[in-house]
Amino acid sequence: MAHSERDAVWHGTTIITVRKGGKVVVAGDGQVSLGDTVIKHSAKKVRRIGSGGNVIAGFAGATADAFALFDRLEKKLEQYPGQLTRAAVELAKDWRTDRALRNLQAMMIVADSKVSLVVSGNGDVLEPEDGIIAIGSGGNYALAAARALASTDSDAEQVARKAMEIAAQICVYTNDKVTVETLDAE
């Protein structure tokens, strides 16, 4: 069945965070697709936010929506400095209850030196038990790979990069143009 441009869906990405050995890493691929067409290979879906760049955020979903959420999260971080969990919960509350925000189509992974979280428009603010989270179309592939690699001698960045490589080999909406940001973890 052919899709019209009007029916095309923006697909894909893979974002992962890994906490290991005193480091937290957030990595994301660069592919942006519209339907079955790759629009861009090198989009930057992972970036530092907050004063001093002490929070790393990555998104899956609609780009404009994600940037709107990044801006709102930065404002929450200004309101609650050094309290990523509190800022994320406040963002999730707004996202779920605000009529305009409620329609945003994106998910975020956010991490600082203390915590990694997934934040969604359903009001979810979730922290992984094992320090590994992944979202997006290739998220489950990257998550499985990272969990398998976490018990090896590989450091957090190596685990994240290899997990992204594996996801890119499986998920057609994920590529190998990876952006990686790292922080020291507590």
Catalytic residues: 13
User: Tokens in use for 154?
Assistant: 């590989």
Q: Please tell me the distance from the alpha carbon of residue 3 to that of residue 115, in angstroms, as a whole number.
A: 41
Q: Please tell me the distance from the alpha carbon of residue 66 to that of residue 64, in angstroms, as a whole number.
A: 5
The side-by-side arrangement of strands in the sheet containing 23-28 is: 132-136, 14-20, 23-28, 179-184
The C-alpha angle 45, 186, 136, rounded to 5 degrees, equals 25
Q: Please tell me the distance from the alpha carbon of residue 183 to that of residue 160, in angstroms, as a whole number.
A: 13
Amino acid identity, residue 84? L
Residue 42 CB contacts under 8 Å (≥ 6 apart), including other chains: 30, 177
Helices (H), 18-177: 63-79, 84-97, 139-149, 156-170
Amino acid identity, residue 154? S
